[in-house]
Amino acid sequence: MKKAIALVLVLVLALSLVACGAKAEEKEAVAGVCWYNFGDTFIANARSTLNNAAANGPVKVVDADSLNDVATQTSNMNNFYTQNVKYLVVNNINTNAIGEMIEQAKEKDVTLIFANTNSPTDEQFATYDKVYHVSSVATQSGTIMGEALVKYWNEHPEADRNGNGKLDYIMLLGIQGHYDTEVRASYSVQALTDAGIGTNCIMETICNYQRADAQNQVASILQSNMDDVEAVIACNDDMALGAIEALKAAGFFKGDDSFIPVVGVDATANGVEALKEGTMLCTALNNPVILGNSVYKLLTLLEEGKPLTQENVGIEGTTVEGHHIYINYVGITADNTEDAAY
């Protein structure tokens, strides 16, 4: 009898240890977020929004600055895996490694969310059911910039400063190989081409989305191309603002006959001020508040076991398709700056 009781006690203890072990292996509701660069104006706003949303939500958020460096971002991701996070949000800059990133997340049983970057392919989505994508539709931003230049060119014959019948422009790119910058650049020029406007790229230069880099690059380009520059296409507002400073220093924006159309993306506070003062022609609103809130809404739905649907997300300006939350761009000019308020 005593042996039977002892055996029962051993079995109960063993089952208790197994249960405790299983409980210990459960992941805490923590999301590790790898932003590409805390210093980017748009990212700073999106980060602040996400962190504020998480203050009273079911998923804790911890983040890391990748300093616009692939190796640093990879290290940040690995650190979060070591911390046994349940969710990993990546503002990805290593666009050639998406497949490997998904494979690693699958091995770690971590839900992977690509934020404000290009999407995995359908084939890559099919390899793991815990992959999601929250981002604006980058093609829209390029088209918005290009169409603004089309309108200006058609309404201002004097825009052809050198009389060659083509729009001669400077193209300011963000990070080399980054999906958003490539699409913004190509679609802006395509909008001009589609409108029957001939173009000539004076210089295409990488400025890493940084204002100071753009200012220095444009100042250098103007030294030998002062009479030919007729537009600046910048793949974000910070670079557009840098270009404007260089143009001002070269004597532009001092009268109607010295205006150079500059277009950008993001509709940052400083970008909107440039619209109001008449130095920026147009920007494409990429709303950081909607991005931050959309990412956290997705985390909340996943944590609560609710499906990702348009109704459940419930955020104006977004479109839900499968595992995607798309954020729509809005063209902002001096005539509708109030639409950029966020």
94 in the same domain as 154: no
Closest CA to 274 of 68, 41, 45, 44: 41
Q: Answer yes or no: is 337 within a domain.
A: no
Average pLDDT of 303-325? 97
Whether pLDDT at 7 is above 90: no
For the four alpha carbons of 339, 179, 144 and 36, in that order, the dihedral sign comes to positive
155 in the same domain as 119: no
Q: What is the extent of the structural domain holding 72?
A: 28-136+287-328
314 in the same domain as 188: no
Model pLDDT, residue 256:
67
Strand boundaries in the chain, DSSP class E: 30-35, 60-65, 87-90, 111-115, 131-136, 167-173, 199-206, 231-234, 262-266, 282-285, 318-321, 324-327, 330-332
Report, in this order, helix, strand and coil percent for the chain, each rounded to 5. 50, 20, 30
Q: What is the pLDDT of residues 208-238, one digit of tens each?
A: 999 999 999 999 999 999 999 999 999 999 9
Is residue 29 within a helix (H) or strand (E), and if so which, with residue range? none
Q: Answer yes or no: is 11 within a domain.
A: no
Whether pLDDT at 15 is above 70: no
Q: What is the pLDDT of residues 65-108, one digit of tens each?
A: 999 999 999 999 999 999 999 999 999 999 899 999 999 999 99
166 in the same domain as 79: no
The total domain count for the chain is 2
279 in the same domain as 154: yes
255 in the same domain as 169: yes
Model pLDDT, residue 255:
78
Whether pLDDT at 12 is above 70: no
Closest CA to 171 of 146, 139, 135: 146
Whether pLDDT at 281 is above 80: yes
220 in the same domain as 90: no
In contact, 270 and 237? CB cutoff 8 Å: yes
**CA–CA dist 222, 82 (Å, integer):** 49
Model pLDDT, residue 239:
98
Banded model confidence at residue 25, pLDDT cuts 50, 70, 90: low
Banded model confidence at residue 22, pLDDT cuts 50, 70, 90: very low
108 in the same domain as 70: yes
Q: Answer yes or no: is 17 within a domain.
A: no
pTM of the model: 0.81
